[in-house]
Amino acid sequence: METTRREFLSTASLTAMGAAVLATGIGTLMPEKAKAALSKPGTKGQPKAETELEDFVYDIENGSTGYQGAGGSAKEATVEEFPVSQSIAGVSMYLKPGAFREMHWHSIAAEWAYILDGAVRTTVITPDGTTSTDDFEKGDIWFFPKGHGHMLQCLGDKPCHFLLGFDNGHFSEFGTFSVTDWVSHVSPAIMAKNTGLPTSFFAGLPKKELYIGLGKIAVKPRPKNINPAIPFSNSMHKFSMEKEGIFQEFKGGSVKLVSSLEFPIQNTITSMRMNIEPGAIRELHWHPNADEWQYVMEGKGELSIFGSHGRVKTMPYHKGMVGFIKQGYGHFIENTGTETLKLIILFNSPVYQEISLNDWLNSNPPQLIADHFGMTLEQAASLINHQNGIY
């Protein structure tokens, strides 16, 4: 799905936030200290001493001990490992053929995923009682709302690797609710009453969580439910980012974006795939409505963040690392390597919004820009309106 930059932004963005501000009244949203400062014309509070920006890059593949078992592994980046990322957590999970991430649910976060390699089968049950069994290949994404029970299974005879994202940085993959953990800690007599199976079966279960198990290799076609009376949903949890995402090619790179406008069930996150070619940059910009979380799929680069009062920090990152930018902080990315820098990006908002420094400069009168930077009017008038997001 191709679109122009202007269409990309207008399609992927909504003005609900601005409308809410106007409806509420700016005075009710303004901190008391700010209102007090405005009541004293000609005065301005002195900024506090500069505080260096905290680290905003983390090596999820090598910095996390995570889980390692016979069926696969899971490396996570939550606030425990990556303190700056308060709103978004991530897990890099590998499953071997025949392995499955057991049936479970998350009480405080929704789950998003992108298939990096191989194929995955999922099952999910929703509050209306419908279920879905879906097969995912490289480039596909899924989204399971908070509290929906689900299972993840390696599909076929090759291992799979996928990235999980959660809309709460305090989430922990090892603190979720797993079916074996629950069943094994309920008395065998109660479980027998609940299921109709013999008490002796439950008495012999291990008193621990399975987490990642090993079974028979999953093959196509997709299996039917045990109970044929339980209705299937219409695969609303699945979307192909690589095939159906909003596509925009720029000088120096490209993006594919999926918001709630394209994938309605993905109602707390917007996701993006970005390519930046060697020597190019993702232009200076900020997001007024969301934090940004990044995972480096391939290549290497530098992420630079501006946090006001002269606080600017640049950190290098490469394949297997994640980065985080707080809402409203200016930033840019430079590809410093010799291969395409490939990123997966999450925003904790169902719609996409950005403000480009280039667009801002070029939307102001040339004389005003000249006065800001001490340049000549000719220099200001000659600023190139790139209309691009990557250069």
**Residue 386 assigned ligand-binding role:** no
**Residue 170 assigned ligand-binding role:** no
Judged by DSSP in three states, 63 sits in helix
CA proximity to 289, closest of 326, 254, 261 = 326
Q: What are the residue numbers of the active site?
A: 101, 104, 106, 111, 150, 173
Written as six digits, the tokens of 114 are 């992108």
How far is the CA of 159 from the CAs of 66, 94, 117, 124, 230, in angstroms? 18, 7, 8, 21, 31
Instruction: Spell out a b/e string for 333-360, using b for 16 or more CB atoms within 10 Å of the CB, else e.
Output: bbbbbeebbbbbbbbbbbbbbbebebbe
Residue 109 and residue 268: Cα distance in Å, rounded?
10
Structural Rg of the chain based on CA atoms: 24
Judged by DSSP in three states, 179 sits in helix
**Residue 318 assigned ligand-binding role:** no
**Residue 2 assigned ligand-binding role:** no
Residue 114 and residue 135: Cα distance in Å, rounded?
13
**Residue 285 assigned ligand-binding role:** yes
For every residue of 288-344, which 3-state class applies, written as one string? CCCCEEEEEEECEEEEEEECCCCCEEEEEEECCEEEEECCCCEEEEEECCCCCEEEE
Residue 144 near residue 239 (C-beta atoms within 8 A)? no
Return the amino acid letter for 320.
Answer: G
**Residue 298 assigned ligand-binding role:** no
| Binding site residue list for Mn(2+) | 104, 106, 111, 150, 285, 287, 292, 331
| Binding site residue list | 104, 106, 111, 150, 285, 287, 292, 331
